[in-house]
Amino acid sequence: MKEAQAGRRVKFFDTTLRDGEQSPGCSMNLREKLLVASHLDAMQMDVIEAGFAASSPGDFASVQAVAEMVKVSAVASLCRALTADIDASWEALKKAKRPRIHTFLATSPIHMEFKLRMTPDQVYEQAVAAVKYARNLCDDVQFSLEDASRSDPEFMFRVIEGVIKAGAGTVNIPDTVGYAIPSQFGELIASIFNAVPNVGDAVIAAHCHDDLGLAVANSLAAVQAGAGQVEGTINGIGERAGNAALEEVAMALRTRADLFGVEFGIDTTKIYAASKSVQAVTGSRVQANKAIVGDNAFAHEAGIHQHGVMMNAETYEIMTPESIGIPRNKMVLGKHSGRHAFNQRLQELGFNFESDHVKVLFAEFKGLADRKKVVSDADIEALARGLATQAEEKARLERFVINSGNTITSTSTVNLYYDGHTVEQVAIGSGPIDASFKAINAIMGLDLKLEAFSLSAVTDDTDAQGEANVKVRHGKRVYNGHGLSTDIVEASVRAYLAAINVLLSEQGD
């Protein structure tokens, strides 16, 4: 296996907005994609894959918007090895500060025979032609050999040599179905360096899926074997079991720098904020024991562990919470704080809003400060994420009243402002939240199915804000909604209405 060279730089390629969105229930609207992209850009991610421009008008628009907004990262669009796809990607990317066209074609026998119905020679010719065409449009072209880990090595070497000669600056080796194990995948990457004569003219990348729970391990094996780019997503979301979790790869490379001996440019102190942002917009929370960003990642329950950490944190902590940007849940602002101090704290937490948005957030903060004894950084972050992902309020909650108990049928009276006037409806349900959702459905006249619903506390206090996330299905589309309140019923109602407002916004576009 090729030994890692000290000081060698490894790039990070984030595909949360493209591959990550393919995770069931993780679709994002444009506002949500721009929020996530802003966090990735703040992390100084090397490349942000913004979408698949040719796949739909919505994806084209999101790639274009991200390309125009991002200031630091390169922005990529995925496309098949077809001129029409490549043209769509370039049209969406051309205003980016650093555009990258990412084209791909399958190279494994099973894909070539049953999906592409092409011979190896035809695949080779199409791959080379696609890269040449893309290179005439864009200086930065990446080519991926789909299902590379199940491809014939000799054919794979031939394709890699051909696309590099055609102008590909990055060649990606995907473990598309999560089939490889670390020793095998590391040897595969090493074999490329030994067998492809012009491999030094391009960056070799690794894109690993987690079907066997080995995506991060395979990515690290690829780095040890010489890979210069790692691809993955925040929180490891993605198709099927997901992608390599980039936060885990980054912290492994940083914590075990003695072993890997590589450098990278992303700001790890922005990891926590990016993770929370992805959880908020997708409604998919990470498990408590998730490495790096899980709620228990820096928790110590056993007495002997607690004693050791108090004496010296390094006894049981190989990294610090601060290294990934976990905020200290302390009261930094109170109800007497001014807007300037509040806006400064927002910026410290990674949020940069226009003055009108800061005014709205400040009013919400003041209201929260009147209801809570302590307003923490986590509370402020939650408010900011809610505003950043909020669609235009075409349906707005005016008030609601519930009547509930363990000996009566729950009833909810909901009053909404919608379509220029207020409408009120009463409904019964199996609980106050169910009754409230049914009342909203009656007002809106929508046939909605609740696909997922979760409630969590932003902080550990008894007066904590409740954070509700819902997924509702309308026809073939699933819409995410996020709501906050110190009242969990109100948080749930606001989340449900947030999802409905996304639906109404899309219908109006």
CATH number, domain 8-282 = 3.20.20.70
CA pair distance 242, 48, nearest whole angstrom: 17
Reported as a single tens digit per residue, the pLDDT across 19-35 is 988 776 677 888 889 99
Task: Give the pLDDT score at 302.
Answer: 41
Residue 309: the pLDDT is 41
Question: What pLDDT is attached to residue 312?
Answer: 52
What is the pLDDT at residue 349? 74
Q: Which amino acid is at 281?
A: V
Buried b (16+ CB within 10 A) or exposed e, 440-464: bbebbeeebeebebebeebbeeeeb
Cα–chain-centroid distance for residue 322?
A: 21
Q: Is the pLDDT of residue 310 over 60?
A: no
CA–CA distance, 447 with 61 (Å, rounded to integer): 28
How much of the chain exceeds pLDDT 90, in percent?
68
- Residue linked to tokens 């496309």: 79
- 421-429 and 408-418 as β-strands: parallel, antiparallel, unpaired? antiparallel
Residues 199-224 have pLDDT tens digits of 999 999 999 999 999 999 999 999 99
What's the confidence (pLDDT) of residue 48?
A: 98
**What three-state secondary structure class fits 190?**
helix
Least Cα distance to 74 among 23, 4, 14 occurs for 14
177's CB contacts (< 8 A; 6+ apart) are: 147, 149, 150, 209, 211
Return the ∠ at Cα 328 (arms to 16 and 297), rounded to 5°: 55
pLDDT at 306: 39
28 vs 34: CA distance, rounded Å: 10
Asked if the model's pLDDT at residue 351 lies above 90, the reply is no
Confidence tier at 4 by pLDDT (50, 70, 90): very low
Tokens 């989340």 map to which residue? 495
Burial tier of 34 (Cβ tally within 10 Å: 0-12, 13-18, 19+): buried
Number of helices (H) and strands (E), helices first, in the chain?
Answer: 17, 16
CATH number, span 395-508: 3.30.160.270
* 66, 100 contact by CB (below 8 A): no
Structure-block tokens of residue 355: 């003055």
How does pLDDT run across 178-195, given as a tens digit for each residue? 999 999 999 999 999 999
Region 142-170: mean pLDDT is 98
506, with CB counted inside 10 A (0-12, 13-18, 19+), is middle
Q: Is residue 449 pLDDT above 90, yes or no?
A: yes
Percentages helix, strand, coil for the chain (3-state, rounded to 5) are 45, 20, 30
Query: Can you tell me the distance from the alpha carbon of 91 to that of 191, in angstroms, rounded to the nearest whole number?
Result: 36
Mean pLDDT of 158-184: 98
pLDDT of residue 432: 96
Give the model's pLDDT for residue 98: 98
| Closest C-alpha among 139, 161, 143, 163 to residue 80 | 143
pLDDT tens, position by position, 91-124: 999 999 999 999 999 999 999 999 999 999 999 9
CB 40 within 8 A of CB 14: yes
- Tens of pLDDT, residue by residue over 326-342, are 865 444 567 677 888 88
DSSP result, 314-349? GGT-SS-GGGGT----S----TT--HHHHHHHHHHT
In the chain, where the domains are located? 8-282, 298-326, 339-389, 395-508
Computed over its alpha carbons, how large is the radius of gyration of the chain? 24
* pLDDT exceeds cutoff 70 at 138: yes
Q: What is the pLDDT of residue 391?
A: 75
Instruction: Give the tens place of pLDDT for each residue, 480-493.
Output: 888 999 999 999 99
Instruction: Identify which of 377, 373, 396 has the alpha carbon closest to the alpha carbon of residue 385.
Output: 377
Tell me if 221 sits within 8 A of 208, measured CB to CB. Answer: no
pLDDT band at 166 (very low <50, low <70, confident <90, very high): very high
Q: What integer pLDDT is reported at residue 463 of this predicted model?
A: 83
In DSSP terms, which residues pair with 357 in a beta bridge?
none
How many other C-beta atoms are found inside a 10 Å radius of the C-beta of residue 355?
8
Percent of the chain with pLDDT strictly greater than 70: 92
Is residue 352's pLDDT more than 90?
A: no
Which of 8-22, 169-183, 424-438, 452-466 comes out lowest in average pLDDT? 452-466
pLDDT of 328 reads: 56
Q: Which residues of 239-271 are buried (b: 16+ CB within 10 A; e: fewer)?
A: beebbbbbbbbbbbbbeeeeebbbebebebebb
The mean per-residue pLDDT over the stretch 43-65 comes to: 96
Residue 24 has a pLDDT of 66
Span 490-505, pLDDT tens digits: 999 999 999 999 899 8
DSSP structural state of residue 465: P
pLDDT value for 327: 65
Which of 47-56, 223-232, 329-338 comes out lowest in average pLDDT?
Answer: 329-338
Residue 206's SS3 state is: strand
The CA distances from residue 159 to 35, 84, 132, in Å, are: 37, 22, 13
Query: pLDDT band at 41, cuts 50/70/90?
Result: very high
End-to-end alpha carbon distance in the chain: 53
pLDDT at 476: 84
Mean pLDDT of the chain: 90
